[in-house]
Amino acid sequence: MPDFRTFWDGSLRPVWDPTGVRVVTAPFTPRRVSSSERDRRLRSSAEHALSVEGLVFPVTTGGRRAAPVSVSGFHTDHYRYDKGHLMALELGGPDVRENIVPQWRAMNQNEKWRRMEQEIQEMALAALGAKHALAPSAWQRSPVPSSALRMRVDVQYGRDPSIPHLFHVVVREVSPSVRGGGAGTIRYQARIENVYSSSDLF
């Protein structure tokens, strides 16, 4: 259960956020596939992400590199999947394999998942008293705010244990000055299915 204490570019998270982003992964047994699926389903590991949790920091992502392959080893090349971040880089998520899962491209870029990320970013800016996203390094020097948002994403898998079927997103408003942030108040929650749309077919 690794903790990641840096943003996507390696900049340190604020000192008042000592736990960083926590990602839980677990081993799985790859399902048997037919030879026609083999190239698509090749995996370099047998592990998948179960959850991610951390404080939300709206950050700029200019100059970001290509995302790594997901911890499950599922390669999205030449298919209608994206390397989706469970906790978006622009929300302060780390650019690591443990934070990556295959997501249908349209859902990740234009539909409910993307709208969720945008809504949470706006809520986080308001909670932190910021007018816009900051460069990752700028947050490291920021004072302790009176409130912040803590985001948690739990992942459920279906027939293929390397591709998520459902995401359960919960965002709570917490007090960083309180040890552990307190239980917090739920500000947002959603269940989002990882499903394709007609635009994924072209």
* CATH number of 78's domain: 3.40.570
The rounded distance, in Å, linking the Cα atoms of 120 and 134 is 15
* Two structure tokens written together for 182: 């307190």
Domain that holds residue 118: 3-27+42-201
The rounded distance, in Å, linking the Cα atoms of 115 and 119 is 6
In a domain, 37, yes or no: no
The rounded distance, in Å, linking the Cα atoms of 144 and 156 is 34
In a domain, 33, yes or no: no
In a domain, 115, yes or no: yes
pTM of structure = 0.88
- 3-class SS letters over the chain: CCEECECCCCCECCCCCCCCEEEEEEECCCCCCCHHHHHHHCCCCCEEEEEEEEECCCECCCCCCCCCCCCCCCCCCCCCEEEEECCCHHHCCCCCHHHEEEEEHHHHHCCHHHHHHHHHHHHHHHHHCCCCCECHHHHCCCCCCCCEEEEEEEEEECCCCCCEEEEEEEEEEECCCCHHHCCCEEEEEEEEECCCCHHHHC
The rounded distance, in Å, linking the Cα atoms of 7 and 188 is 23
pLDDT tens-digit readout, 20-72: 999 999 998 766 554 445 444 444 447 999 999 999 999 999 999 999 999 98
Q: Which of 23-32, 78-87, 161-170, 176-185 has the lowest mean pLDDT?
A: 176-185
In a domain, 126, yes or no: yes
Sign of the alpha-carbon dihedral angle for 57, 70, 106, 156: negative
In a domain, 32, yes or no: no
What's the number of domains the chain is made of? 1
Which residues share a beta bridge with 26?
Answer: 48
In a domain, 54, yes or no: yes
In a domain, 156, yes or no: yes
Residue 127: pLDDT band by 50, 70, 90 thresholds? very high
In a domain, 34, yes or no: no
The rounded distance, in Å, linking the Cα atoms of 79 and 74 is 11
pLDDT tens-digit readout, 77-108: 767 899 999 999 999 999 999 999 999 988 88
